Amino acid sequence: MSTNIVWHDSQITKKDRTKLTAQKPCILWFTGLSGSGKSTIANALEEVLHNNKNFTYLLDGDNVRHGLNSNLGFNDASRVENIRRVGEVAKLFVESGQIVLTAFISPFREDRELVKNLVEKDEFIEVFIDTPLEVCEIRDPKGLYKKARAGEIKDFTGIDSPYEQPDKADIHIMNDEITIEKACEQIIDFLIDNNYITWRDN
């Protein structure tokens, strides 16, 4: 990093922006295997929050790799950098007063901890979408497990690259025998109980 770069504080603060949104900004970090249901639940949850008049933005793993992280591969070093960049972007959304939902496999505990340390203590909410590998393989919405088993994809999480489960996720969703609606309810209840949002009777 250049020594000639100086941080510039903006006149409008996160506190000022939060007053307008009437919510506690945070990162809802969805982690889990490919096919676990991260993006599906995150998308459904964002719709629920939007209908509740909350200010949100969703960062999805595949979408981010189309633009911001299009120059990264899938080896360990690239995955670390992928999560670091996403964490920095998510932090900016939190600074803007929004609830940002991120759906990334993010297989390494250390990387998730890195993102957690970018924001204040109560601004990172780890949401573990816990779906057994065999269920993810049956779903295989993108056909990736089939390719990984055939050796066509290398370093695939859960097959020939490890997934490190959260030691103690803030929200733990067993997603093999639960509806999307129930999964969303579990997260909404957490957000209400911990004063991130106020539920509005629409």
As annotated, the active-site residues are 106
Task: Give the integer Cα–Cα distance in Å for 75 and 94.
Answer: 29
- Backbone φ/ψ region at 186: left (φ over 0), alpha (ψ -120 to 50), beta: alpha
Quick one: how far is CA 83 from the chain centroid?
A: 10
- Decide if 30 contacts 42 (C-beta within 8 A): yes
Residue 31 near residue 127 (C-beta atoms within 8 A): yes
CA separation for the pair 112, 90 (Å, rounded): 12
Per the document, the length of the chain is 202
